[in-house]
Each structure stands twice: as C-alpha cells, then as structure tokens.
C-alpha cells in the first residue's frame, strides 16, 4: 500500500458505521448487536482475503468494546501469543461478560496454529468476509457522495477505481479529502480538482492521465 493510502487511512478512525457491508451484512448485524450489549455470541472469528475489511472491523470493535480481547491476524501469532490467546478463551468460558474477537486470513481449521486454539477459534460465530466488487465499490462511493451533498461529475468514480485504488477504505478517505479540498478552493468537485489534490498529496508525483477515460 502506498504512503498516500496509509496517510489517508490514518485520518479515518475505523468504526462499524463507516464499514461498507456489501455482502457482509449478516456479519455487521452480529457485530452491532455485540457492540450494543448482546452477549449471546461473545466469541467471533472473521476471516477473508486482504482488503475484505477484517482489520477495519477489528479496529472498530476495539474502539467500541475497550474491555474486549481483540486480536487481528491470528495467523501471525508466535507460541507465546497463542498461549496468551488460549488463556483468554478459557477466561471467557468462565466469565459470561468477556468477549473475544479474532481475525485471520483463512478458516480456523486451516490455520497453522496449535490444535486446541484452532478449535476455540471455530467454536463461536465464524464469518467469511468478502471484499466488494467494482460495482459495489462504485455504488458505495456514489452513496457516500450523495450523503455528503457532493455532485460528482461523470467519470470521477470510474477514474478512482481504475487509476487510484481498489481498497474501499482508501477510496472513501479520498472522497472525504476531495470534499475538503473543494471547499477550501471554493470550487466544485471535478476530476481535474481531484488530480490536483492527489498530485499535491503525493508530493507532486504525476497521476495517470484522465483524458483516456473521459
């Protein structure tokens, strides 16, 4: 991921409200219930390919439930980390108020972790997260623009998807930055204005030519 993308993401705190659910609505519903105090499902494991949103949701839940145990990317745990996480599962089994949220890049039983930990990871709710396709990304961006009162000219969203990023978090942050830049310049949002902002934000490096897609 580019430094510009990382800088954009650093400005947007992950939350359940700014997670674009797409086909992951059932998962988001369960996480909202948990954040609202429903403790029927206190053990939840989220998995999926990079860009599916699992780290976003882990960060959102860590903010919403500061007392919960939230571990992102369990596939990276060393022996000590696995032992510590297994201990949290044991504690949760004895205390109905304890919550354990974990994420990984594959289903629980496919993880290269100790067997008893894999079993615990799969004992609660398990959701496979799916990243939105381009149509879903475009729809989410258009909806976000409408909610902001932004009237985006035709071609802006398709240019973003083609030339900027396919990570929806980065795209949403870019849309927010374009809104602020347009207000500061007292100009209507446009593709030239977007390219101007991207060139400045990336230290003056050239952005792809827009005339090829207009």
pLDDT number for residue 192: 92
CA distance 115 to 41: 22
In this structure, the answer to whether residues 161 and 82 fall within a common structural domain is: no
Q: Are 41 and 29 in contact (CB under 8 A)?
A: no
pLDDT number for residue 202: 65
Pick from 65, 58, 70, 71: nearest CA to 19 = 58
In this structure, the answer to whether residues 124 and 139 fall within a common structural domain is: no
Residue 183: give its domain's CATH number: 1.10.8
pTM for the model: 0.72
Summarised one tens digit per residue, pLDDT across range 151-210 is: 888 889 999 888 887 777 788 888 888 888 888 889 988 999 999 888 887 664 444 332
pLDDT number for residue 146: 85
Interstrand relation of 69-71 and 125-128 (parallel, antiparallel or unpaired)? unpaired
Has residue 212 got a pLDDT over 90? no
Percent of the chain with pLDDT over 90: 51
In this structure, the answer to whether residues 53 and 113 fall within a common structural domain is: yes
Summarised one tens digit per residue, pLDDT across range 123-136 is: 999 999 998 888 88
Mean predicted lDDT score pLDDT of the chain: 86
Q: Which of 21-30, 63-72, 107-116, 198-207 has the lowest mean pLDDT?
A: 198-207
In this structure, the answer to whether residues 184 and 86 fall within a common structural domain is: no
Residue 72: give its domain's CATH number: 3.40.50.300
Final residue belonging to a domain, choices 128, 152, 174 = 128
pLDDT number for residue 12: 59
Task: Classify 149 as helix, strand or coil.
Answer: coil
pLDDT number for residue 203: 61
In this structure, the answer to whether residues 159 and 96 fall within a common structural domain is: no
Q: Can you give the residue range of the structural domain that contains 52? A: 21-128
Final residue belonging to a domain, choices 79, 104, 128 = 128
In this structure, the answer to whether residues 150 and 167 fall within a common structural domain is: yes
pLDDT number for residue 170: 82
* Domain count within the chain: 2
Token digits for 65?
Answer: 């439930």
Burial of 190: CB neighbours in 10 Å, binned 0-12, 13-18, 19+: middle
CA distances from 177 to 139, 172, 195, 209 (A): 19, 9, 12, 20
In DSSP notation, 70-117 reads: EES-GGG--HHHHHHHHHHHHHHHH-TT--EEEEESS-GGGSSS-HHH
Residue 40 falls inside a structural domain: yes
In this structure, the answer to whether residues 31 and 94 fall within a common structural domain is: yes
Residue 62 falls inside a structural domain: yes
In this structure, the answer to whether residues 157 and 192 fall within a common structural domain is: yes
Final residue belonging to a domain, choices 128, 145, 174 = 128
CA distances from 201 to 6, 112, 189, 198 (A): 12, 40, 16, 5
Has residue 69 got a pLDDT over 90? yes
Summarised one tens digit per residue, pLDDT across range 11-37 is: 557 889 878 788 899 999 999 999 999
């Amino acid at each position: 991921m580019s430094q510009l993308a990382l800088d954009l993401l650093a400005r947007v705190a992950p939350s359940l409200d700014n997670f674009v659910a797409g086909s992951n609505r059932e998962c988001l519903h369960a996480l909202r219930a948990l954040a609202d105090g429903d403790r029927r499902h206190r053990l939840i494991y989220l998995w999926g390919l990079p860009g599916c949103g699992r780290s976003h949701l882990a960060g959102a839940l860590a903010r919403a439930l500061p007392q919960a145990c939230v571990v992102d990317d369990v596939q990276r745990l060393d022996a000590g980390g696995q032992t510590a996480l297994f201990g949290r599962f044991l504690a949760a089994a004895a205390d109905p108020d304890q919550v354990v949220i974990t994420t990984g890049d594959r289903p629980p039983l496919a993880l290269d972790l100790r067997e008893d930990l894999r079993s615990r990871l799969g004992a609660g709710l398990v959701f496979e997260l799916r990243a939105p396709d381009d149509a879903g990304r475009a729809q989410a961006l258009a909806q976000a623009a409408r909610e902001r009162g932004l009237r985006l000219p035709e071609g802006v969203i398709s240019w973003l998807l083609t030339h900027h990023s396919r990570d929806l978090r980065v795209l949403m942050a870019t849309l927010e930055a374009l809104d602020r830049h347009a207000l500061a310049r007292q100009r209507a949002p446009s593709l030239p204005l977007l390219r101007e902002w991207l060139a400045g934000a990336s230290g003056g490096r050239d952005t792809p030519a827009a005339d090829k897609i207009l």
